[in-house]
Structure formats: C-alpha cells, structure tokens
C-alpha cells in the first residue's frame, strides 16, 4: 500500500510554478525531484496544504493565493532611505540588499535612486502574486531518524556530519 503524505514523511515532487500571468518562475530539474520533509515549513503553506493526503503518482494543479504563498504586498515596506547608507556602493533599481531592520535581517530591492535617496521595497518579490503549481508526487516514504534529527532529506540515505 502506498504511503500518504503526512507530517514528517519524506516527499519527492516534480513541479512547475507559474505566476497568474503564466510566467514560469521555477521548476524541478529533469529527473531530479524536489525532496523535503513534509510539515516542517519548507514549502509555502498553500503548496503544503495541497500536498497533504496525496500519494505517489498523484498529479494535480494547485492554485495558491498570495496569503498562502509569499504574502500580500505591504506599502509600509517601501521606504526612502538616505543615499549615504549605501556608502560608496553603486546602487541601481532591481539590485537586492540585505538590510538590518527592527524585525531582523530582511532582503530589500531597490526600486528608485536619486542623488540623495534610495527607495527600497522590503516586500518579497513574489508578494501579492497568486501562484499555480503543476505537481506530480514521485516519492513518499518514512523519514529516517537522522533526517528528522537534521531536519532535511539525505539523498540515497547518505549520512553526513554537521
């Protein structure tokens, strides 16, 4: 009897993820499924919810709303900061930086640059975007004690030191 996807199972999937406009954002490599331990927050909530209870050979399409993907966009995460904060670094729209904020480290994308100010956007680049996942489940198995302890899948059951 095939196993059902549930908490702490090792799951392998082939997938393609597209934006609501049909642009492909990512996909599993040919012959190399994405492997992860289910229920550990390694995937966005909407995809994990869609996988629960599935079995090997299941193929399905999951439509994931922004709130269950990378969140809604928040205008409050867009702000202008003094150009001097970047020192002598070249800055241009589209560049990404790690910034220290009141909420810890955060990735920001530069959206505008003037002589005095740099406008940064702290939203995830995929915030506010509905995603569509085309998924095929290719593996469901018990995780080994070592995998559960380390929190990730060991390919071919290999052990390694941390």
**Range(s) of the chain covered by CATH 2.40.10.330:** 75-121
Find where tokens 């020192």 sit. Answer: 87
Give the Cα separation of 108 and 94 in Å (integer). 10
Domain 9-70+127-157 CATH assignment equals 3.10.50.40:
yes
- List pLDDT tens digits, range 93-149: 999 988 777 767 888 899 999 999 999 999 998 999 999 999 999 999 999 999 999
Alpha carbon 79 to its chain's center: 24
CB-CB contact of 85 with 110 (8 Å): no
**Range(s) of the chain covered by CATH 3.10.50.40:** 9-70+127-157
Helices then strands, counting H and E runs in the chain, come out as 2, 9
For the domain spanning 75-121, the CATH number is 2.40.10.330
pTM: 0.80
């Amino acid at each position: 009897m095939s196993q059902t996807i549930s908490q702490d199972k090792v799951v392998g999937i082939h997938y393609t993820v597209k934006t609501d406009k049909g642009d492909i954002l990512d996909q599993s490599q040919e012959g190399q499924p994405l492997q992860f331990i289910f229920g550990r927050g390694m995937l966005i909530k909407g995809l994990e919810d869609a996988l629960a209870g599935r079995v090997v050979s299941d193929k399905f399409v999951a439509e994931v709303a922004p709130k269950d993907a990378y969140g809604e966009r928040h205008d409050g995460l867009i702000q202008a900061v003094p150009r001097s904060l970047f020192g002598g670094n070249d800055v241009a729209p589209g560049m990404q930086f790690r910034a220290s904020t009141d909420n810890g480290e955060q990735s920001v994308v530069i959206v505008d640059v003037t002589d005095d100010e740099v406008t940064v956007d702290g939203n995830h680049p995929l915030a506010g975007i509905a995603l569509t996942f085309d998924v095929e489940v290719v593996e469901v198995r018990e995780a080994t004690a070592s995998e559960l302890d380390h929190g990730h899948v060991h390919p071919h059951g290999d052990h390694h030191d941390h």
